[in-house]
Amino acid sequence: MWQQLLPAFRMTLLMTVLTGLLYPAAITGICQLLFRDRANGSIVSVNGQEAGSSLIGQNFTKPGYFHPRPSNAGSTGYEGTAVRWI
């Protein structure tokens, strides 16, 4: 029985390290090198403080798009730089 279980445990450990640690680390490193401006989520800064993302809550104007979810940011509801604290 151990002749079958031991290789299975080893393979599980190997694949966990490869697919759970090494591959994500390699892809993250490559993306940070090649796409520095987009790899961290298009963060908008106001006065040196992170305020949101430029990709969230976009105001769609074409009729072919679905309605975006409402936002509590800014007067029109789509301003990513508006910061409101409750």
Backbone φ, ψ for residue 45 (5° rounding): -110, 140
Q: How far is CA 68 from the centre of its chain?
A: 19
pLDDT tens digits for 22-55? 999 999 999 999 988 777 777 777 888 877 777 6
For residue 55 the two structure tokens come to 């990709």
pLDDT for 86 equals 47
Tens-digit pLDDT profile for residues 65-84:
666 555 555 566 556 565 55
Measured distance CA(42)–CA(77) in Å, rounded: 19
The pLDDT value recorded for residue 74 is 59
Nearest Cα to 84, choosing from 57, 59, 55? 57
**Residue 80 burial (CB < 10 Å; 0-12/13-18/19+)?**
buried
